[in-house]
Amino acid sequence: MELADKRQRWKKVNALTPEKMELAHFLLNKIRAGEDPLTLIRKHPLKSGGYLNKAALVAAYNKMIADKSIEPNQALLEKIRMKPMRTLSGVTTVTVLTKPYPCPANCVFCPNDVRMPRSYLPDEPGAMRALEHRFDPYRQVSARMRALQNLGHPTDKIELLILGGTWSSYRRDYQAWFIGRCFDAMNEVELFRADEPQREEKLDFSALLAQAQLVNETAPHRNVGLVIETRPDEINPDEIRWLRTLGVTKVQMGAQSFDDSILEINKRGHDVACTRQATALLRAAAFKIVLHWMPNLLGATPQSDRSDFLRMWEGYCPDEIKIYPNQLLANAELYEYWQRGEFTPYETSELVNLIADIKPSIPRYCRVNRIIRDIPGNNVVEGNRRTSLRQDVHDELKRRGGKCQCIRCREVRGKSVKRAALTLNDLVYSAANADEHFVSFDTADDKIAGFIRLSLPTNDAPKTEMSDLDGAALIREVHVYGQSLGVGAEQSGAAQHVGLGTRLLEEAEKIAKQNGFERMAVISAIGARQYYLERGFERGEYYLTKKI
């Protein structure tokens, strides 16, 4: 109720009264003429007391668009949008959580709260929203899209991030229902029933899901990425076929460590060979791969962590990583080890120095999504409580005169680009059972405007048992950076609208042909299918394919 009460108070404070609308109209005209929004807001308080905020300006802008009292103005919206970083990577991410459900493992570091899926706490921001909506997927997606729209963000292109323990351990009828309800919310058409399937029921949601996916190809909110998280020991050919049936394009896995002895004493339940096999199979099936890595596990030291991190680039070669320093929580088994004096959490300074040491070694083809879990500090018993660890690390790197070359640190974001000024680069590297080409458009100051991941499987690549991929070069990702724009929207100088995606596909086709491939396959999200179909690809069973 506390979160709901806060939102009700927020709505009351931000209600558009006639006075606020009048002032907002005045300010928007001034901002459109080139004046700074924050300076104007401070100079023009409300007669009734207080000030307008950007949320009120966005709401007033949307109301005036609906009333047709002003014309849509992308440049104006850019200036008043709240938290622009949320969509500067080119897509709008919507995070949802699955319901509490048993996990197949019992890692010593993992919190266990009966109200939440395993490893999550009820006062984490995303978890709070899920708990408020009773883990209902439709309500979570709808509410999050509405909140983003109220902040001035487009929701035409949605990356759906599904969190909540081990996805693969949930019953498959629940998985299909959950994703189906997410598509219902994006489609604004309800095909699935609101209540989840019961254990004794034998329901096949495949036909309904296929229908919802077809609707989403031209829906108001298209799914351009679907992400789940699971464990390495859950990945096999049958599982990856199922993930493609669901529309999954990216898989997050907890590698945690690349040292078998560390995995064993932390009761992880799988070994390093399992992680290597899982990443190789996912790559052979064209999935984008995100690995989680945890420093400060039981038995680790800062020096062993430095060595362990380097092993990640020996064959595993993830596309993205999340660095999740182990945090000592009272409801995890690790707490008992700490009480016996068998575990010591790193202090913040140790973590900052460790991550500042390893971050410059991250390859240019990899993106660092996170450097700390979003766990409120009041849950941490001892050790680091700062959630701003990324900024601390960047400050330390700046002090040292170093820098990170990962994708996130080089994204062009809101900067205007000119295609003629970009350089096309092909970074070639070897991963387990594949030769990878990371082809990117870079600016003169080494910012990245867009890239494509082309994977060329070697003869010893794992068998996926999917005919779409037989003898094919694999396009695992096409991504163009800059502020996310609505489908069909144009913005002068925006990286998303200077033809970079098409040019990257052409380059990938040329490289594939030079290496003896006669076919290409792309792992397309549901809402991106039309993009590829318009560029010569055809529908296969699980992928879109094209003859070279």
In a domain, 307, yes or no: no
State the pLDDT confidence band at 491, using cuts at 50, 70 and 90.
very low
User: What pLDDT is attached to residue 69?
Assistant: 80
Q: Residues 127, 51: one domain? A: no
User: What's this model's pTM, rounded to 2 decimal places?
Assistant: 0.87
Domain that holds residue 36: 2-80
Domain membership flag for residue 13: yes
DSSP 8-state secondary structure symbol assigned to residue 49: S
Residue 193's pLDDT band, with cuts at 50, 70 and 90, is: very high
Q: What is the rounded average pLDDT of the residues 132-146?
A: 96
Residue 215 lies in a domain: yes
Q: Which CATH number covers residue 504?
A: 3.40.630.30
pLDDT digits (tens, 9 = 90+) for 364-412: 999 999 999 989 999 999 999 999 999 999 999 999 999 999 999 999 9
Give backbone dihedrals phi and psi of 63, rounded to 5 degrees, phi first: -65, -40
User: Residue 295 domain-assigned?
Assistant: no
Would the pLDDT of 88 be above 70?
no
pLDDT digits (tens, 9 = 90+) for 15-39: 778 888 888 888 888 888 888 878 8
Q: What is the pLDDT confidence band of residue 426, given thresholds at 50, 70 and 90?
A: very high
Q: How many domains does the chain have?
A: 3
CA-to-CA separations, 478 to 39, 51, 419, 475, 547, in angstroms, rounded: 39, 43, 17, 8, 18
How many percent of the chain have pLDDT more than 90?
73
Whether residues 428 and 532 share a domain: the answer is yes
CA angle 408, 413, 414 (to 5 degrees): 165
What is the SS3 assignment for 477?
strand
User: Which residue from 515, 545, 517 is spatially nearest to 529, judged by alpha carbons?
Assistant: 545
* Together in a domain, 46 and 117: no
Region 485-511: mean pLDDT is 72
**Residue 222 near residue 207, CB atoms below 8 Å:** no
Examine the domain organization and report whether 71 and 140 are in the same domain: no
Question: Does 409 fall in a domain?
Answer: no
| pLDDT recorded at residue 49 | 80
In a domain, 487, yes or no: yes
Residue 7 has pLDDT above 60, yes or no: no
Which of left, alpha, beta for 158 (phi over 0: left; psi -120 to 50: alpha)?
Answer: beta
Q: Are residues 499 and 514 in the same domain?
A: yes
pLDDT at 408: 95
93 and 190, same structural domain?
Answer: yes
Mean pLDDT over 489-510 rounds to 75
Same domain flag for 45 and 74:
yes
* 202 Cβ contact list (under 8 Å, min separation 6): none
DSSP 3-state percent helix, strand, coil across the chain (nearest 5): 40, 15, 40
- For all residues of the chain together, what is the average pLDDT? 90
> pLDDT value at position 42?
84
- 30 and 97 in one domain? no
**Top-confidence residue, 25 or 284:** 284
The burial class, CB within 10 Å (0-12 / 13-18 / 19+), for 42 is exposed
Of 182, 213, 230, the domain-final residue: 230
**Is residue 353 included in any domain, yes or no?**
no
Domain identity same for 141 and 168: yes
Digit-coded pLDDT (tens) for 291-335: 999 999 999 999 999 999 999 999 999 999 999 999 999 999 999
Displacement of CA 315 from its chain's centroid (Å): 23
* Integer CA distances (angstroms), 87 to 18, 151, 339, 389, 414, in order: 31, 11, 43, 21, 10
State what percent of residues in the chain have pLDDT above 70: 92
Check whether residue 98 and residue 222 sit in a common domain. yes
The pairing of beta strand 320-323 with beta strand 367-370: parallel
Domain match, 63 and 166 both: no
Confidence of residue 165 (pLDDT cuts 50, 70, 90): confident
Residue 98 lies in a domain: yes
Measured CA distances, 370 to 44, 63, 84, 466 (Å): 38, 36, 18, 33
- Report the interhelical angle of 54-66 vs 137-150 (nearest 10°): 100
Q: Which amino acid appears at position 481 of this protein?
A: Y
Alpha helices in 401-472 (DSSP H): 407-410
Question: Last residue of a domain, which of 29, 48, 80?
Answer: 80
* pLDDT in the model for residue 4: 53
The pLDDT of residue 416: 78
Query: 89 and 198 in one domain?
Result: yes
Flag whether pLDDT at 436 surpasses 70. Answer: yes
Cα 215 to Cα 206: distance, rounded to the nearest angstrom? 14
Reply yes or no on whether the pLDDT at 485 is more than 50: no
Tell me how far CA of residue 496 lies from CA of 78, 85, 93, 146, in angstroms: 15, 16, 17, 24
Which of 52, 80, 108 is the last residue before a domain boundary?
80
Residue 2 pLDDT: 52
Beta bridge partners of 452: 439, 478
Q: Write the burial class of residue 27 (CB in 10 Å: 0-12 exposed, 13-18 middle, 19+ buried).
A: buried
